[in-house]
Structure 1
Amino acid sequence: MRAGKIIWLTAVASLAVLALGCAAPGTRDGDVPAVPTNTPASSAVVAEPTGPQADAPPNHADNNGWKQRHELSAADQRTGQKLAARIRPKLEALRAAGDFAPASTQRELLELGIKAAAIEVTAMRPPTGQETPPPGAVYAVHFANVGCVIGDVRPDRVMVEVTGSASEFGCLEPFSH
């Protein structure tokens, strides 16, 4: 009878240890809660990765720093929006006429009274693996020494965007591989 009692006590003790071992963290006496109870869940701190991203080269931020654009002040943003509002109808008219030539885009921007030195217009870039560019023109108008109205004229759209200029290249980012 003594052996049966020992087996029974061993089984009970094993179940007790198993039950305590499976308890959720913070539910046993002496446990530290996983999230402090006096801190709202929305203020949880998430660790930021400190090393390079797995899919980015180690110097990605440094290598692309030249692309950073100036922040526009509220006044500069308003100036850019007014300029963009003048540019859009002219380029929409070109698109409606089916005229996507860079020279036509340049002419329309000059007719708005924008100085030639503030305008840059190029043809669309050919897609990778093709030699012929699609129809359209890419343009930029530099204003107030810090801002740009950039975009393109294509058969399917006219894009007009107000942004800051970049110290390294001005308004239109140069093509690079």
Structure 2
Amino acid sequence: MHIFRSRSLAAGILLAAVLTLTACGQQRTASGPSPSPTPSALAPARGNVEPDSHDGAPHYHENNGFKVPREMTPAGEEAARKEAARIEPVLKRLRTDHAWDPNSVRAALLRLGYRTGDGLQPGTLVVSGMGERHILTQTAPVTPEGSLFALRVRKDACVHGAVKPSGSQLEVSGPFLETGCFEPRGGH
């Protein structure tokens, strides 16, 4: 009889432990079944959310730091905006002439006095094609028409953009950590 009580006691303790562990995290009310989770209950834990992160994603800034350009000095920004003002009419003319291929864009921008190079030294220009894109509706990668360009104005200042059939884009920023004056397209 003593063995029976020990087994019953052990089974009762085991059952209580299992019920306690399976109820972990659940909230019960006296009026019925537990309520459905609220949107805040589905969000990342409060300690993992960074200020100003998109959609409350944990580690957003850490994971996307390569997309943030370095800061420009006021003198660097002024110099970059001056060069952007010189480049803008050239981009409009190239687009009107349907001359958005890399060779045409490079030749037109070199006429402004820039030189080709690695884009790391001030005054150097890099021009490239748009690069392959993977589009969900296509089975093979697609290379759109157009050109990308990046001009290193100063150590801390860049002008970069694109010329393509749908329009032109021109931006001023500091250099990017991993891609110099070219705006990064994807993740690592």
Give the TM-score range, shorter chain: 0.5 to 0.7
| SS of structure 2 residue aligned to 1:170 | coil
SS at match of 2:183: coil
Structure 1 window deviating more from structure 2 (137-146 vs 114-123): it is: 114-123
Residues 1:77 and 2:65 aligned together: no
Query: Structure 2: how far apart are the matches of 1:175 and 1:161?
Result: 15
Matches for 1:114-129 after TM superposition, within 5 Å:
114-117=114-117, 118-125=124-131, 126-129=133-136
In structure 1, C-alpha distance between the alignment counterparts of 2:84 and 2:91, rounded to whole Å: 10
What value does the CA root-mean-square deviation take over the aligned residues? 2.3
> How far apart in 1 are the matches of 2:144 and 2:179?
24
Matches within 5 A, 1:37-76: 49-52=46-49, 58-76=58-76
Displacement of 1:72 in angstroms is 1.6
1:157 corresponds to? 167
- What is the deviation of 1:56? 6.2
* 1:164, distance to aligned residue in structure 2 (A): 0.8
Could you tell me how far 1:166 is from its partner in structure 2? 1.9
- Gap regions ≥5 residues in structure 1: 1-48
Instruction: Output aligned runs, 1:13-28, within 5 Å.
Output: none
2:101 maps to which residue?
A: 101
Amino acid at match of 1:115: R
SS at the partner of 2:126? strand
> Judging changes above 3 Å, is the alpha-carbon distance between structure 1 residues 66 and 119 closer, same or farther for their aligned structure 2 residues?
same
Distance 1:69 1:106, change over 3 A: same
Q: How many residue pairs get matched?
A: 129
Q: Distance in 1 between matches of 2:149 and 2:100?
A: 11
- Structure with greater Cα Rg: 1
